[in-house]
Structure 1
């Protein structure tokens, strides 16, 4: 039976993983949090799942590489330097990094890419997301995943084309821009909608997360898929065969 180790086991996702792993027919190799013995956990795990923090990522990757243990990274809020570290680790071990482990969200990313590829810049793209009141970053990592998919399809750079935080007299919408709106409140697990607005018609692609368990189930599926893969950087789209 494959053994999955949990980094960040005391967090909400860590607790959800502790339930989802045995439910999917795998074994929990163990779990750690800050100050825990990751070296020992990596040695007894067939794969690691990391939902800890960006600050811990470098050490987590170093230990995973040393133990030759594949790792799935679901931590959000990563910066360019973190992606550089992931690329470097992927030269030695299999690494799957994603801003969202939900299978439904990753299918949505695929559909957004397909739509943006086939509909030109006459179709404006707006991305709206809502999360619980405690979420500290905006736009969400998932919203950015959706924006990157649309930008990639249109062969533009998201950081140069995105529009955020419109307020007051912001002027007309720039052709080809990708807009973001972030809403916060209540206990919303995560709602994401991508609106493609053309002349006299709109397409709205939406995913609604009703429970954190969907992220845990997707992470378990991704982690299990990662076992036995060659060294390299992988995505949830590959897990789904997209």
Structure 2
């Protein structure tokens, strides 16, 4: 008799000893259909060689490694929320080994994004600046709002994150701007305004403004303001825990099951296209 039980998704985690890495490992352990198959971190990490789930008081049998190829050897997919340079190095190894990837890293430049596009010719990748289910539904709402409010409304995007975040605006804020600009037939590179200071003159109605706040332990707040004459519409998403990113990442892992190559985003994962 052939068993109908599906084999678990074998997942590796990059940056396994960081805050997001811990959240991902805990989510994998609690998932029921995913198993931790690899864990990696920088060679200078004091946790190299330790069990990746030790922080949970649990023995996973997976040691934290600095050797990327060794960490990926038994894995089917890598989840990566590290830094652009590290992610691209990990992606190179994924491509060589035929391991799919879920990338939530932000701060990539145009040339670096092209490397991700190129890698997707050989492996399947979900690449999104925010893996949260709620924030991606918010992006869809913004697309709808932008089409209806394309004229007569000034658009400002305000985002807030913890003091340790190194890039600004956030990848999610930039994705919001991109979605809005595309819906209105604009080029974000030409219409974005990043902060204001001094005598700026009147606001150009064709622009999309960005403001960034950094402080404390804010996980991630994003508000898009459509300010018209006599009314304003605010669409806000607030993250209270990184667990939403972890759960969204596991949905991306499940989406990639059986896919051999191609570049996807969370709209694909959630069926929002």
Asked if TM exceeds 0.5, the reply is: yes
Matched residue, 2:84: 54
Given the two structures, how large is their TM-score scaled by the length of structure 1?
0.96
Q: In the alignment, does 2:144 pair up with 1:136? A: no
Matched residue, 1:19: 26
- SS at 2:160 equivalent: strand
Matched residue, 1:148: 178
Identify unmatched segments of 5+ residues in structure 2.
Answer: 1-7, 44-65
Deviation at 1:187, TM superposition (A): 1.2
Aligned partner of 1:171 among 190, 201, 222: 201
Q: What are the Cα deviations for residues 163-185 of structure 1, in whole angstroms up to 9, with x where unaligned?
A: 12211211111012101111122
Separation (CA, whole Å) in 1 of partners of 2:104 and 2:68: 17
Deviation at 1:119, TM superposition (A): 1.8
Given the two structures, how large is their TM-score scaled by the length of structure 2?
0.85
Separation (CA, whole Å) in 1 of partners of 2:231 and 2:122: 48
Deviation at 1:118, TM superposition (A): 2.2
Q: For 1:117-132, what aligned pairs fall within 5 Å after superposition?
A: 117-132=147-162
Pairwise CA RMSD: 1.2
Is the Cα contact below 8 Å between 2:38 and 2:72 reproduced in 1?
A: no
Is the Cα contact below 8 Å between 1:125 and 1:179 reproduced in 2?
A: yes
Matched residue, 1:8: 15
Number of residue pairs the alignment of both structures matches? 242
Identify unmatched segments of 5+ residues in structure 1.
Answer: none
Separation (CA, whole Å) in 2 of partners of 1:93 and 1:33: 22
Deviation at 1:222, TM superposition (A): 1.1
- SS at 1:91 equivalent: coil
Is the Cα contact below 8 Å between 1:126 and 1:179 reproduced in 2?
A: yes
Separation (CA, whole Å) in 1 of partners of 2:174 and 2:88: 22
Separation (CA, whole Å) in 1 of partners of 2:173 and 2:25: 27
Is the Cα contact below 8 Å between 1:132 and 1:190 reproduced in 2?
A: yes
Q: What are the Cα deviations for residues 73-96 of structure 1, in whole angstroms up to 9, with x where unaligned?
A: 111111111111111100111011
Q: For 1:31-46, what aligned pairs fall within 5 Å after superposition?
A: 31-35=39-43, 36-46=66-76
Q: What are the Cα deviations for residues 178-229 of structure 1, in whole angstroms up to 9, with x where unaligned?
A: 0111112221111100111122111111001001111111111112211212
Separation (CA, whole Å) in 2 of partners of 1:230 and 1:196: 41
Deviation at 1:139, TM superposition (A): 0.9
Deviation at 1:56, TM superposition (A): 1.7
Separation (CA, whole Å) in 1 of partners of 2:152 and 2:95: 46
Q: For 1:79-228, what aligned pairs fall within 5 Å after superposition?
A: 79-228=109-258
- SS at 1:145 equivalent: helix
Rg larger in 1 or in 2? Answer: 2
Question: Mean Cα displacement is larger for which, 225-234 or 14-23?
Answer: 225-234
